[in-house]
Amino acid sequence: MKDHGVLMPGVRPREVWAWAMYDFANSGYTTVVVTAVFNAYFVGVVAAGRSWGTFAWTLALSVSYAIIIVTAPVLGAYADAHAAKKRLLAVTTVGCVLGTALLGLIGPGDVALAFLLIVLSNVFFGTGENIVAAFLPELARGEAVGKVSAWGWSLGYIGGLITLALCLGYVMFARAQGHSEAQFVPVTMLITAGVFALAAAPTFLVLKERAKPQARAGAAFGALARVLDTLRHARKFKDLLRFLGCIVLYQSGVQTVIALAAIYAQEAMGFTTEDTILLVLLVNITASLGAVLFGQWQDRLGHRKTLALTLLGWCSMVLIAYLTTGKVGFWVAANIAGLCLGASQSAGRALVGYLAPADRHAEFFGLWGLAVKLASILGPLTYGAVTWITGNDHRTAMLITGAFFVLGLAVLTSIDPERGRRAAIAAA
């Protein structure tokens, strides 16, 4: 982060580091709770392995994402109008940390309470993710948003890796003491909440709110009016809106992998909890490398080409996971997913920043969050429904997941980033 040429005037490298530390902090939640530990615990222990367990898990996530879909654009517009990004981020952080800690109370049979806490904690997580992304265009120059975005994503995967490693250390200790999953998984929730709270502190101590209020306080209806105005004038931003549609498609596949990787590993491939955590640890390393490597190329290669390469990688991952019957093949597929995960997430966020008008960053990142959350409903819920209908046939569900990446790639070919950038500059 020593390259001052990529930063906006007045932005110091330590402020970018503080912004990126939020990615470090919140990645523990999505890695441990959504991807590696609590999801499999919910299906196997809380729901006692019943046939509807996977569907119930995806339904809980879907409800949370539906709430975010309704609230994200309005909150984003409100944050822009009142220069309130940092205040809203503090609220979502406290909410997610507390919700994660309360998951430590969940034991066998506590399906309803677990469902409620997953919904609440994930709403706070997803809303905070949108808000912190809206700081990016204030920190990085337009031609370097890909590089700075990659710094955040790569540090985020390191944060997820460290949190997961701490949890693995405790799980191995607890196993040696003869403890069961019902005893040690709740403790990992407390570890995750603690890391989130500590690692997020630099963001609130160092990161500045540079936006200026654009409306009087309390103008909630004004925030909604801004969103409606954006939708009414959608023709001015056709490349951005087309890209949001592309995001819905390919992120349906990405979010399915994130939400169901551990479940697939244990149900289809016979992995243990420790195997799964080790797998996700390695995937976090490859994801961090993918974010850094593609971030260096993205601004030179082009946002669209970079994303297209990652979507081709996702297609190959799905095919390998579907065809393989051994653990080695699945390890290969999982690490291809890791490389593509870091790259595609960073590239998508950067392209939204590149195409968004300068005076509506939070608003358009709210729409980006809306697209991702819609995908987070469509993809995992489709997977959960397929497994329920087919009697837990996870391989068929994985193959259907691949169709989302193919469709996303098809829409991506119709997007012209430079035309979209010119429209954003003209609108601002």
Domain boundaries, the chain: 13-208+230-427
Q: What is the pLDDT of residue 220?
A: 56
| Nearest-angstrom CA–CA distance, 262 and 265 | 5
Confidence (pLDDT) at 215: 54
As its CATH architecture, domain 13-208+230-427 has: Up-down Bundle (1.20)
Structure confidence at residue 299 (pLDDT):
67
Poorest-confidence range of 41-55, 259-273, 333-347, 351-365? 351-365
Read off the pLDDT of residues 201-231 as tens digits, 9 standing for 90 and up. Answer: 999 999 988 767 765 545 556 656 666 766 6
| pLDDT at residue 221, as a whole number | 61
The percent of residues above 70 in pLDDT, for the chain, comes to 91
Helix axes 238-268 and 327-355, enclosed angle (nearest 10): 160
CA distance 300 to 144: 9
The residue to which tokens 């995750």 are assigned = 192
DSSP-derived 3-state class of residue 336: helix
CA atoms 144, 127, 182, 55: torsion sign = negative
Mean local confidence (pLDDT), 146-175: 87
Q: Is the pLDDT confidence value at 4 over 60?
A: no
102-125 average pLDDT score? 96
Confidence of residue 67 (pLDDT cuts 50, 70, 90): very high
More confident residue, 210 or 241: 241
**Statement: residue 80 has pLDDT above 80:** no
